[in-house]
């Protein structure tokens, strides 16, 4: 599995690196660290930019080499790790381009708690990457620690259920994890059918026995997911996200993006089909 980790050498990006390195103890992983030098500098900073850019590039190279040396020094197991340093005006767009060109299976990023106007006005690279990525994104809250992935909560609206599970199954099998399919009945949108029968059908169709199907009534998807996550001591939440229009981007983050900031455990997002 090839995992791309965007880094700005901050403590928050180190959270994603630490989680991925610990994950590599259990499964075969190639880690690629990506540092994007922001070219959106004020006009004064662009004066004599050639020397400035060279100095920034050299500093970034030194920081990256120190980071990788530190990672290898702190871990006794063999780590397949490489890096790329580039320049760009949009981190989330370059992450997508790089990921597609380099056959990346997963993007891993750290997230920090934010709320209210601060989140709406300033946004975050994490939300931007989730929004733009066609590749699955694993977001790691700043205080999350890897302790194995034995219990996955897959929050589903029941649309394209089989197609979405088909994307989840390979990862679950790799980790030998339980998949808890959770449907939140928010506005009397109950599953029409027998839950147990559907559960048995999915186990048979996907040749995987570790599947449970649960329905929970709640006035809020986020509250319902977080409550269930605590009840089953989940290790990861999986959700499928929509592309949102401009007004939704500015005034109302998607359910998935909000959950990325509120959950206490990693959130794995896939791009949802239209």
Domains and CATH numbers, the chain: 2-141 (3.40.50.620), 151-271 (3.40.50.620)
Residues 151, 155, 160, 161: what is their CA dihedral angle, to the nearest 10 degrees? Answer: 40
Lowest mean pLDDT among 41-45, 71-75, 248-252: 248-252
pLDDT for 46 beyond 60: no
Q: Check residues 21 and 57 and name the one with the higher pLDDT.
A: 21
Order of strands, edge to edge, in the sheet holding 2-6? 80-88, 30-38, 2-6, 106-111, 137-141, 267-271, 236-241, 151-155, 178-185, 211-217
Average pLDDT in the 144-150 region? 91
Rounded distance, CA 128 to CA 107, Å? 13
Region 235-259 average pLDDT: 61
Euclidean distance between CA atoms 267 and 129, whole angstroms: 13
92 contact partners, CB below 8 Å, separation of at least 6: 125, 128, 129, 131, 132, 133
- Percent of the chain residues past pLDDT 90, beyond the cut: 38
């Amino acid at each position: 599995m090839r995992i791309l980790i965007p880094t700005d050498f901050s403590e928050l990006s180190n959270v994603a690196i630490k989680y991925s390195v610990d994950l590599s103890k259990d499964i075969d992983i190639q880690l690629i660290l990506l540092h994007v030098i922001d070219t959106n500098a004020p006009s004064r900073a662009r004066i004599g930019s050639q020397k400035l850019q060279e100095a920034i590039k050299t500093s970034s190279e030194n920081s990256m080499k120190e980071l990788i040396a530190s990672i290898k020094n702190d871990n006794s197991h063999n780590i397949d790790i490489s890096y790329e340093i580039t320049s760009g005006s949009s981190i989330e767009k370059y992450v997508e381009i790089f990921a597609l060109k380099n056959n990346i299976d997963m993007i891993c990023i750290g997230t920090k708690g934010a709320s209210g106007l601060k989140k709406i006005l300033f946004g975050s690279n994490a939300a931007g990457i989730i929004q733009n990525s066609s590749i699955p994104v694993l977001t790691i809250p700043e205080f999350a620690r890897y302790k194995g992935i034995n219990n996955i909560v897959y929050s589903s609206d029941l649309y394209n259920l089989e197609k979405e599970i088909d994307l989840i199954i390979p990862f679950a099998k790799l980790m030998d994890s339980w998949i808890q399919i959770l449907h939140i009945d928010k506005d009397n949108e109950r599953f029409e059918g027998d839950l147990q029968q559907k559960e048995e059908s999915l186990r048979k169709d996907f040749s995987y026995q570790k599947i449970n199907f649960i329905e929970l009534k709640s006035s809020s998807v986020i509250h319902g997911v977080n409550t269930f996550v605590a009840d089953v001591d989940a290790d990861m939440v999986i959700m499928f996200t929509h592309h949102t229009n401009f007004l939704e981007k500015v005034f109302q983050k998607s359910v998935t993006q909000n959950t990325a900031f509120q959950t206490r455990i990693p959130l794995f997002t896939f791009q949802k089909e239209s």
